[in-house]
Structure 1
């Protein structure tokens, strides 16, 4: 599968990366993640250049990661710093390092050209950078093409059929759906006027039964990061007068048919109530793991391995407009990246091999 390499992807929640090396496959490449003694995140290709053993099976000696197989040690920049067997260290003895940073509760990795890694290219995902907000995070794995998950999120009409806790009863026909693209970011906004507000929002609103105006506005930042704002107000009231939840859906392809799905929810503590955080986590885990995941996995099984959904000529509804737009933007970015990529450099010849010639 072709990926957009020069982009930020989530590698893990910040709390998952510590002093114990963690292996994660990202865009078909094995990566080892850990933190230095100062707490800075590190990401290296999880492959010792000597015999290609996984570095994640090794141990940390200070900030040096020691391969468990033959004891070579590598610094946070991937350079071999110690050869316990003596003799010179071949110049090819390094593990590729990846730019990484912590933000919004997650550790992000730049999968492409390190010289192009720019923190300013991270999407704006406020309010997840505001300490005053209450948040919950989670992680699941979906055995499917990450683009199918993007399709799922950009067409929230499925909520009315697949997610009982999110359903605003009787509002499907009266929903106003707006799709737009702004500088490569695709927005898919759904507005439901004078509807029966969903059970989840009623719980946040602390009302047993409530009619009002509901919204679900989601935006996709290429390649695979989505921000969802859902909320409800009294009928005719402005959005700031009601309640709202912010949700992140951050997708990182593991391989063509497997996706790391990182999610988070944030809410204003003014709307807090006893047990709300546990309630939200339960509802969201149920929706993502017990409703979305089985459906998307079954969809992938029906499509088949190494087959793009769009190549099969699916019937398209008006609700698919945002998903189709995002696929087009993503493919254009991938095509542009491939067209401007420099030719692959010839790998250096190991010193020992050069002497043997």
Structure 2
């Protein structure tokens, strides 16, 4: 047989795509072969099936084919993760709106239409790439066929006592008005002000987040810091408020940072949360989902974080409590989708 001098990729691919029928890869639960289930990570259908997806699916496909050749009954499903922030942000960008500009029903309708169009496009690309997917196991997370099963699973876990409700800090994007994962934060170097604030004659703290002062639930010092050993157990009034907090000791306080005295806020950062849990401190959340301060912030209720920061510093200066201010570099956490500080 005479071979062509040039490899005709399109013709060869079309030939094999016709041979690789979808039903070749159906998973048979009744098969006596050992089962091998692939928990495919469903991509967000918010655009195209890009090169990053293709790379990951190649790796998954290699494993699926290898396992089949080694005698396994392989389930290689395909899913589409339709819920959450990625879709909402893309729909807002596409239509030049915020979700508050239209009714909930209308915004959901726009999201469904946008998602279904992208699924069709991404499905076509995925099939064109020739992955050995069992398309009979395709799932779309916004359809009742899928989420009814997740609801059933939740109920079963609840009945087994595996689910509980508790307060826990989350990372919130005030622009998107939703929580985001740690992996969804981008960091940008910037400059901010380190403020040295006097709580009383013996207690001066250094903070870059004065807007969190109304959320202060304790003052902490290192147990081996001789400068403040005599303060442990005493109570001091929190500036701009009318309540008092106790001075506690903890080995995770860094005596070399600032004055060596830190204020502990319920959900200021992850270290604050550790102290809050460890010392069984009061839960004092002063932030709303939209990034404004709530009634626990007293006279600063309704202000944005930036507005509250400025107002609190101004009030502290009037009281003579701002002893020093320094410009420092720090990393600013941003929502990776809308670039808003979190």
TM-score (norm 2): 0.26
Q: Which has the higher helix share?
A: 2
TM-score (norm 1): 0.25
